[in-house]
Chains A and B, each alone.
Chain A
Amino acid sequence: MLLIGHAGHAEEVTLRVWGMGGEAEKLPKMARRFEYENPGVKVRIQALSWGGSYEKLVTAFLGGTPPDVCQMGTTMMRDFHAMGALESLQPMFDSGDLRAEDFFSESLKTCTYDGQYYGMPWYVDTRVVYFRREYLDRFGWQQFPQTWEEFFKLGQQVTAAKRAAGDEIGYFCSLQGFTFEMFYWQAGGDFMPLQNGAPPFDAAKMAEAIGYERSLRQAGFLGKPHDSGIDYITEFDLGRYEVAISGPWMAADLKKNQHRLKNAWGMAPMPENKTRTSFIGGSNLVQFKESRHKEIGRKFILFLSRPEIQAEWYEISNDLPANRRAMETPQLIDDPVMQVFREQLADTRLPPADREWSIFWDRFYRQYDAFMESDDDVKTFVRQMNAVMAEVIAERDAVGRPQAGGLYWVALTLFPIILLSAYIFLGIGRQQSIKALTSTPLRTVALFLVPAMAVMLIFRLLPLCVAFAASFTDLGAANITDPTRALFTGSANYLRLYQDEIFWRSVKNTLIYLLVGVPANLLIALTLALAINRFRGWKRTLLATGLFLPSVITMVASAVTWRWLYCQQSPLNLAINWLGIGPLNWLGDPDLALPSLIIFSVWRSYGLSMLIIMAGLELINRELYESVRIDGGSRWHEFRHVTLPGLRGTLFAVAVGIIVANIQFFIEPYVLTGGGPKDATMSLLLFSYNRAFGSFQLGYASSVITVLFVFFFIFNLWQRHLRQKLS
């Protein structure tokens, strides 16, 4: 209010608030109330998708245009604090507007750095058990199993009953939204601070947790993988399985959308071993240092923290209140769903958020699935994992890495530029004069050449050099504002790339994509071009234009269309169903996702190849056909001895074009699958993009770029060599 009345007349202030998809959609309702309480303030809400939020926030921060108030996932806080992006909210706690004891302490930890609060927990998230009552009643359970043993017993009863009833696809339990850490905590384990030489987790408890999950799998509780294509909550509703571990959204969905179950379902906290710990997550509200309307922004944060507003927000969004006092409000105190969550939230923990842990889990899960299927010794597996973690810590602690410094950047960036200039200057005086009129004065040449060359130098050559220089450093979130502080890491990025399984997966995917996509494209294009070439006039125009259209249609529009065609309810699945194959889980099935993208991409690109081949056909000497015909040659002869040799150059050019385009395979997986499921559609460029904008490891991402560049360079030399040999 102070700010608004400042100039004597009420000037309208626009508060920019960014939220994630679902939250942003529902937030306007609260914003209107805030506007009503604060005349002269207009709240503008922009929605970010969860997937793209990290990149969006990083670029907004770097671009100096961050929002005034922003929702931030608890896992992102660390990076943004490291970047120096976040404004301290300590004054709000100091002044007593916010009280630390109102919030869950684990949740507040995600806001705390160096003893200061850099955010306010907005809502929390945890996992509880959802169960269908049917089997519970049948086997005489008064309440849901309280311990691991009881849980296992119920699992055996249900599984046996389902098998006896001849149910082949039904199973006991779905671990949706489950994170492995929970079993480890429940076994009494704890994650230790990462120190060289000290084990980061308790081996015996880890073995117990892993062993327990494996016993669940081996007892057949978790079902076989299947692709019904419908979401897991509907499946629960349909009775395909009996127990789910899931978050607050499932309760909301069951109450609102699922009608078969009515009240035949219940909720419970996690079964207990040593503890019944679940994990805590959620979102905080933060301000950036460069946010413009901090005062009003803080007011908005404070507004959203009020118990009655938090309670109302729960009813709108089903996000669990982060302010514990909200759970005591009349609206929520008797809410049965909330009671279960309240009970569970009393025993929740925060998964460790260090970058090293995410590197570790990456490697862990890659071997975990295979281990789960095997009968290998759990202790050996834990020992292996301990060794992996030791490696990760050692990598972090590798000493003797000098800071890159300004000179490094200048030198390494300019080096290739100097090299290229030398190449040009050394060539002076050797050029042969072709069609030479007179030598043009240099000033005139500069006038024509400089604009284009300057743009290419600054935005094409220089970036390549910067990427090259960055690939030998640890440039990233912590030092982006001052690259001279980046550490020179030598070949570490390349070494890591060599060991990175996702990188090799993306190389493999790109290769599969080329090996299947390019021949398919050429074959279809050639067949169609030859067929269309029989026609002239309107028929030819119609066919050529029509078949070419997919190449002209804006990529994103096509991608959205195919995203829809590939979903469960689309005409495509209807047609497939009619053929008797049954609806396919096109993008969700790891084996099917890449082929689905290849189909889309071939559909999109064969028209272009076809047109180029048709142009190539026009260049073939008609008389050659005549002579074959006079010799009595067949159509096949014609094709084999005239068409194909005549098209050689064209086909080669088309192939090179498709290969170059397909190595840059990006939008298809970005829009359709995001690289998933299980990295089945991860491409090289998406991999690099994710490292750069998804987790802001610019140095690491740059090493991918350098590798790609070297690859392109060699490919280019090779194709020029081949082209010369052809002609």
Chain B
Amino acid sequence: MTVHTRNRLFKEVLFFSFLVCTLAITMLPFIFMSAEALAPSPLTAVEGSRYLPQNWSLESFRQLMSVGDISRFVMNSMIHAFGYTFLSLLLNSLAAFAFARMVFPGRDRLFTMLILAMMVPGQVIMIPVFIIVKSLGLLNSFAGLILPGCAHAFGIFAVRQFMRDLPDEIFDAARTDGCSDIDLFIHIALPLCRPILASLAVTSFIYTWDQFLYPLVIMQDEPMFTLPVALVSLTSQHFGSWGMLLAGGVVTALPSLIVFMLAQRAYVAGITGGSSKG
């Protein structure tokens, strides 16, 4: 019995150390990135290489602040992420409500088409989207940045599944009490959908923060750059100043990391929810 327990314990430790090693290897790029960003002097070709710097300083961050208006880029990214998240929650849950709790002609085929639309990746249609945004005069504006992607089949689909599974009795009762569809949506559906909306909000935020190609094309004037676009632009301008660029990487990565840490559960539910059902 003791042999068996010891054996089990041994296995447990073995597995755990294997996983911790994997974890360490996975995290290494971040560790190197943060360490190099906090190094006092930039690494040059003459010095050779090092694993970790010996001293620490915020010099790279200071340098980063001096080459570009970083706070401006952070602000732009914030407006982008929050604006997108808000609008996509609003539009998608409205549409989802129609699909889940209303009966109207053509509903099912329209919904099928939405699901098909889900399969076309956004980047594929970027050129014509650019032409359309341009002809609407929305280049270089937050409207042009946020509007085109904010209604998406994935969001409608997720919220619709959730709304459809809500008990009919609540809605029936409210309707007999004389509630309009709008009342039903605001006072009953939305509060009950809080979990899925939270998931959608967190995934939207992190997704938007991550966006690169689309903002690159739409935001052309440097003061309108989002953080990732600014970072790539800095990389090509100051190629080789790795300390500063990695500091930029840290600044870019931090916000979505914080949001993820704070709302981990909602986020994980959001990304695993759809797929584990299928």
Contacts and interface: CB of A to CB of B under 8 A. Distances in A.
B57 interface: no
Contacts of B217: 55, 59, 693
A65 B139 contact: yes
B94 A452 contact: yes
A456 B117 contact: yes
B237 A49 contact: yes
Among A56, A444, A459, find the residue whose CB has the most chain B CB atoms closer than 10 A. Answer: A459
Contact of A702 (B12, B128, B232, B233): B128
A547 B26 contact: yes
B164 interface: yes
B107 interface: yes
A556 B212 contact: yes
B21 to A, nearest CB: 11
Interface SS majority for chain B? helix
Given A553-B253, A664-B121, A451 B237 contact: no
Interface in B259-273: 260, 264, 267-268, 271-272
A249 interface: no
Contact of A549 (B30, B103, B121): B30
Contact of A528 (B22, B128, B171, B233): B22
Interface string A700-727: 0110010011001101100000010000
Interface stretch (B41-49, B58-66, B190-198): B41-49
A666 B98 contact: no
A445 B104 contact: yes
A436 B26 contact: no
Contacts of A561: 29-30, 32-33, 246, 249
A716 B95 CA distance: 23
- Kindly state the interface size class of chain B when it binds its partner: 35 or more
A557 B232 contact: no
Interface in A487-546: 528, 531-532, 534-535, 539, 542-543, 545-546
B117 A459 contact: no
B88 to A, nearest CB: 9
Interface in B97-136: 97-98, 101-110, 113-114, 116-117, 119-121, 123-134
Interface stretch (A143-151, A288-296, A569-577): A569-577
B164 A427 contact: no
A455 B231 CA distance: 30
A562 interface: yes
B19 A532 contact: yes
Interface SS majority for chain A? helix
B188 to A, nearest CB: 13
Contacts of A534: 12, 15
Given A449-B94, A466-B132, A553-B30, A571 B236 contact: no
Contacts of A552: 206, 256-257, 260, 267
Contact of B125 (A60, A452, A614, A705): A705
A98 interface: no
A427 B106 contact: yes
Contacts of B36: 564
Contacts of B129: 459, 463
B164 A442 contact: no
Contacts of A562: 29
B248 A439 contact: no
Nearest to A716: B119
A621 B94 CA distance: 36
Interface stretch (A120-128, A171-179, A589-597, A650-658): A650-658
A444 B256 CA distance: 37
A467 B105 contact: no
B257 A569 contact: no
Contacts of A650: 275-276, 278
Contact of B102 (A444, A553, A612, A716): A444
Interface of A: 21, 24-25, 46-47, 49-52, 55-56, 59-60, 62-65, 230, 234, 420, 423-425, 427-429, 431-433, 435-440, 442, 444-445, 447-449, 451-453, 455-456, 458-464, 466-467, 470, 528, 531-532, 534-535, 539, 542-543, 545-550, 552-565, 567-571, 573-575, 603, 607-608, 611-612, 614-616, 619, 649-650, 652-654, 657, 660, 663-664, 666-667, 670-671, 685, 688-689, 692-693, 698, 701-702, 705, 708-709, 712-713, 715-716, 723
9 contacts: A424-B106, A455-B91, A462-B128, A560-B249, A561-B249, A565-B32, A568-B49, A574-B50, A708-B124
Interface of B: 12, 15-16, 18-20, 22-23, 26-27, 29-30, 32-33, 36, 43, 45, 47-52, 90-92, 94-95, 97-98, 101-110, 113-114, 116-117, 119-121, 123-134, 139-140, 147-153, 156, 164, 168, 171-172, 175, 181-182, 185, 206, 209-210, 212-213, 217, 220-222, 227-228, 231-233, 235-237, 239, 242, 245-246, 248-250, 252-253, 256-257, 260, 264, 267-268, 271-272, 275-276, 278
